[in-house]
A and B are shown apart, each in its own frame.
Chain A
Amino acid sequence: MYEMDGEEIFVIDGHVHLWDARQENIIHEGGEQFLQCFYDYHTGFTPEEEQWDIDTYRHYGADRMTEDLFGNATADMAIFQPTYLDDFYDEGFNTTEQNAELAEEYPERFVLNGSFDPRDGEEGLRYLEHLKEEYDIPGVKLYTAEWRDDSKGWRLDSDDAFEFLEKCADLGIENINAHKGPTIRPLNRDAFDVKDIDDAASSFPELNFIVNHVGLPRLDDFCWIAAQEPNVYGGLAVASAMTTNRPRKFGEIMGELLYWLGEDRVLFGSDYALWNPDWLVDQVMNAELTDEQRDEYGVELDVETMKKVMGENAAELYDIDIEAKKRQFRDDDITERFDLGTHYGGDAGAAAD
């Protein structure tokens, strides 16, 4: 667990991937461009000494991922967010099945989300049922800007999408993670548009809508919608990486989020392997608002707030009992593998005195 000023912070990384962008898996030039764009994000917001070479970045594998996430105990759990991109990658870029390889090895440490695309129609509904049955997914990650055949994207407030959201509600798939931000193949359609969240969120109050990348570059629309829809949440992936070289911008964005959404509806995510929690968590935990920002927004990034943002809010959404997890992690496989017992008050730790 991350420690700050003697306080223990249980960190749930709300946004991680296990992707495969090796040349042999790429079947469309878009796949290569997509990965290159990701790599620019990586180098653009990663301290130089933490940057990866491009080959590692294409395919890092389950073993390295496990070590990056948990090896130094900055993250305690992580939530998989699949990204299929079937038109670009032969076996998919980061599918539920690919993620499951690792999630099922350490089920106590990972939350595995699924995905749907309403353009798949009946077959898509069956697939969603299959994901629930096979993996008991508690949520889905959606990519509304994805191209498919002649379609250049879809909206969450469409009839087709509503049919899938209805199915989610029926199956108890409560957490709808929408990618709203840097996009795939945007044409003139405003693929960053977050307005479809509004209607979907008010029509399905029993579901939670987590908007990844807090809607950037539509942070303004996002905050305004979230201020009115209590079941809309903001995922900090991308924004959190601004702590690397834009701490002031990060402060402003946090100020806005805490002002409009409040401290209960903002969730940390590293976007691994875009960025690595083994240094990013520390950076985010040490971020501070300027005096000017404190005055302007009337909020603080204090320990209580950060505890919620870094873990408690995600725990609430995904029904994770943090205290039970701490006990479980005293001697689970990850703790044994990386010798983390002391972090969870295990055998070597707070046993006697």
Chain B
Amino acid sequence: MSGSSADPTSGRGGDASDDLAGDPVDPADDERGRSAVRDRLDRVEDPELARSIVELDYVDAIDIDGDRVEVRFTLPTAWCSPAFAWMMATDARDEVEGLDWVDEARIELCDHMHGEEITTGVNARDTFGETFPDADGGVAEVRAAIADKARVSTQRDAIRALLDAGVDPQQVVSLDRADVAVAGDEAHVDLGGLSVVVDAEPVADYLDRVETSGHVTAGDDTLFLTPEGDSIPAERLDVVQKRSRLASVNMGGQGAVCDALHRARHGPDGPDGSGVSYLGESGEYDGDVDEFTSTWTLDADD
């Protein structure tokens, strides 16, 4: 089939094309294919905000032509860090190519001061250094710094869950990785024979981030750490919790800036003007700014 284009967040309205109905086995067709691509893109995060690029409504279009997929995306400003843009573009490419029916994914970064270089470089499989020879340092260290922020900001809820369950500060700071196990909806915390059960979600979120950042990999690694990566003296737990809160507020604050710029640039209808956006999941935007912002910036702290 020839290439088709649609807003990636559409498709929930029940208007999937008719020709798909009779052909359930070809995943590259229309809505089903786009839906699969969208699910993959949903795993790609804006590194600065630790939120999905689909949720943030950066994706303008998904075009599918047989086993070739093209994704176009736009960031909140033409000035967004090229390193961050590069990370999102390469992550998007790799995620989409992870689908077994996709042979090649082509990514286009639209309306960015380095859009051409990034689009060309990512599709030619060049490295960031090859694309920006005068850049100092690499993407890897930026990724590491970002992963570290995510670690710090998720630690607070995990610790709070334990404190709320009656684990005392001294016990909290003494925990090793092996003392915690997630099973289904529950996280089990082993306090030397005594086991405490808490909600799995904040603990699993934290484990995910702290493993990605590389701070906790072995069973005997100390589980909770200061922002600098050291173990926490029990009497300092409170200030570490406040620093973790601060990291979350920072991400949320920057998210508000990015959202406002994105909206200023493209209007409330999103980059393609279709009127279909992230908000489609929770109701149509009716022009009420307060409602708009409260759903738009939904995050852990809200």
Contacts and interface: CB of A to CB of B under 8 A. Distances in A.
B100 interface: no
Overall SS of chain B's interface: helix
Contacts of B145: 190
Interface stretch (B33-41, B91-99, B179-187, B243-251): B243-251
B253 interface: yes
Nearest to A46: B264
A271 B160 CA distance: 38
B142 A188 contact: yes
Nearest to B246: A220
Interface in B56-110: 76-79, 81-83
Interface in A278-318: 296
B82 A256 contact: no
A239 B253 contact: yes
Nearest to B138: A188
Contacts of A256: 245-246, 249
How large, as a class, is the contact surface on chain A? 35 or more
A132 interface: no
Contacts of A34: 79
Interface in B205-256: 227, 242-243, 245-247, 249-254, 256
A218 interface: yes
A186 interface: yes
Given A37-B77, A249-B253, A43 B132 contact: no
B249 A45 contact: no
Contact of A152 (B136, B243, B292): B136
B264 A217 contact: no
B125 interface: no
B139 interface: yes
B48 to A, nearest CB: 6
Contacts of B293: 245-246
Contacts of B19: none
A40 B265 CA distance: 6
A22 interface: no
A78 interface: no
B113 A30 contact: yes
Interface in B250-302: 250-254, 256-257, 260-261, 263-265, 289-290, 292-294, 297, 301-302
Contacts of A248: 294, 302
B256 A249 contact: yes
Contact of B261 (A40, A152, A255, A259): A40
B128 A252 contact: no
A266 to B, nearest CB: 15
B134 interface: yes
A119 to B, nearest CB: 15
A41 interface: yes
A288 to B, nearest CB: 14
Interface string A308-344: 0000000000000000000000000000000000000
Contacts of A253: 249, 253
B163 interface: no
B83 A44 contact: no
A260 interface: yes
Contact of A216 (B76, B82, B138, B257): B257
Nearest to B113: A33
Contact of B260 (A45, A252, A260): A45
A182 interface: yes
A54 interface: no
B261 A44 contact: yes
A353 B113 CA distance: 62
A39 B79 CA distance: 13
Interface string A88-103: 0000000000000000
B135 interface: yes
B108 to A, nearest CB: 19
A223 B79 CA distance: 25
A44 B135 contact: no
A183 interface: yes
A242 interface: yes
A25 interface: no
Given A187-B132, A188-B136, A252-B252, 4 more contacts: A182-B257, A188-B83, A217-B254, A252-B301
Q: Rank and list the top 10 A-B pairs by shortest CB-CB distance, nearest first.
A: A44-B260, A217-B254, A44-B264, A188-B83, A219-B250, A40-B264, A43-B264, A220-B250, A246-B256, A220-B246
